[in-house]
Chain A
Amino acid sequence: MAEPLLALSDVHAYYGSAHVLFDLALHVHAGSLLALVGRNGAGKTTTARTILGAGVRSTGSVRFDGVELARIPTPLRARRGIQLVPEDRRIYAGLTVRENLLLGRHAAADGGALPLERVTSLFPMLEPLMARGGRELSGGEQQLVAVARALVARPRLLILDEPTEGLAPVIVEQVGEAVRLLRAEFGTTVLLIEQNAAFALDLADHVAVIDQGRIAFSGTRDAFLGDPTLTERFLTI
């Protein structure tokens, strides 16, 4: 079997003296969608940050496309093709939507950025927002802009951290549509971090469950859904 696009092994992570991830191992294969599910505080966001080396101290190995990332600073990891859509979206309030989207170009390989027309044709509801300021957007619009901004970089691995958090069900549905669309269109590999397991399982090929900083399960979606003890333990939140 080919080497996974992203492979974490023996990963420990710390905030100050607090030890949050323990001996974590995780594989994401090219073209797949891995849903990383777990309770609040289980270490999902820390895992995402560890992959990008942003704001957390970690040991162990993070390999992306065969390259060890441990000593590579965050911006260069991003330029290697990893885009994180953080859970609080972090749209620039003082910049317009257009400017927010243009910022996505810095992580793209030379000439590889997705033209904005392409983005708006994929997500037509962005079109009327382009000139609007970041602080004037609703939560759903922010989420959409955040995903679109990441897409502009045409990432090889897209990490979505709690994309449905705080969104109305109809918007959650739209976000799911967007993820399907970009997988179909670009074959993007996705690491989907979710507390909303129903939403995640609907989209996932593979599932990993994280609990108290440790991987409690890792396997295919079908294997996960086929094990009643697992679903019992991790889906009843």
Chain B
Amino acid sequence: MIVRRMLVLSALFALAVPLAPSPSRAQGTAGALKIGLIDTISGAYAQVGTDTQHGAQLAIDEINAAGGVGGRRLELVVKDEQLNPTATVQALRELQSAGVTITMGYASSADCLAALPVAAQNDMLVMGSNCIATALTTTKFDKHFFRVAPSDTMLTSAAAQFAHEHFPAIGTWDAYAPDYVTGHDDWTFFSEKLRRLSPGVQTGKAVFVPLAAQDVRSYVTALSSDLPADSAKSHGLYLATFGGATAAVVKQGKPENLFGKFAATINVGGSEPTAAQLGADFPDAWFVYDYYHRAYATAMNRRFVAAYQKAYRDAPNSWSYEGYATIYALRSAIDRAKSVGVDQIIAALEQAPISTPKGVLHYRSDHELAQPVTVFECKGDASAPKQYTCPHWAAIPADKVAK
């Protein structure tokens, strides 16, 4: 009986999850333009897809309330890829057979890389809302792919730029990064760009941690044991983890006061949800990522933040922004193309000014969105209502983060 009840419960749960987060009723109107959102809405990185969906849905609700695009309503079709490229491709094929040609989302670069060849073959559009691998606009370039998030090269470039401008006193940067190709490449890129900007700066110890590692105390020790006594003045930490990996290093580094041993920490690829998760435990660190809601003073951003607050009782984060910006990028293109044909949209995206809360942006010829990267400082604070505050922020302009 218990088995059966548990099975029923889990089945109900499986049904309920994809439906629950959407605040608006499915419209299902004939003639609506369907946009496929393939994103990770379950598992450890479920927040990526959920927040992307929230942002996209908000944009769609706004556009539909204003009469839709070219007289057609927009409708989101959500598929959970579970951070699994196989599921991503499966979802893409399902959308294809349902006649959906415009897709967005893709929590990880592996998902984008898996989806792109299939999409190209079937003439479908891949709007990379979340995925950041540089290869997608270089070695793996295909005209069907347009990125909304900044590439990891742009993020790393912004981090080096920021380190150079903001922390001139730091003579050595050490690294704590995930142990995969991008983790290594980005660190190399960061050190090279930083040395170009400030020739006196050195790179110290680089510790690479397996992606799935939960007990990282040995890595923490490996990083901190070689630091000189005055490291709190002279060393900076390049931290390239996100999500659970950041939680592990923060919590397990605490007894050694790991972050206190560095003059500054720059967390490339991390963002506010991690600070929210760790609350007062979160150290003082500078996130380098797509978006922070207070960093942009445009009218569109003010409207976006206010509407998002109203709908979801929380400020939008990078992923919410990416979902929202993707929909508005599509609208900019469709308005210009006066067509929903994939080739016409591609042509329009290449030309059209893209309105986003960060400002009016343009796609480069490699389909990378020329855009600023956001740097913002967050730190745990037991006295703050959310147990953390983000007191400083800056936007590193598009021309300073280009390649």
Asked whether any CB of A lies within 8 Å of a CB of B in the complex, the reply is: no
Give the interface of B toward A (CB within 8 A): none
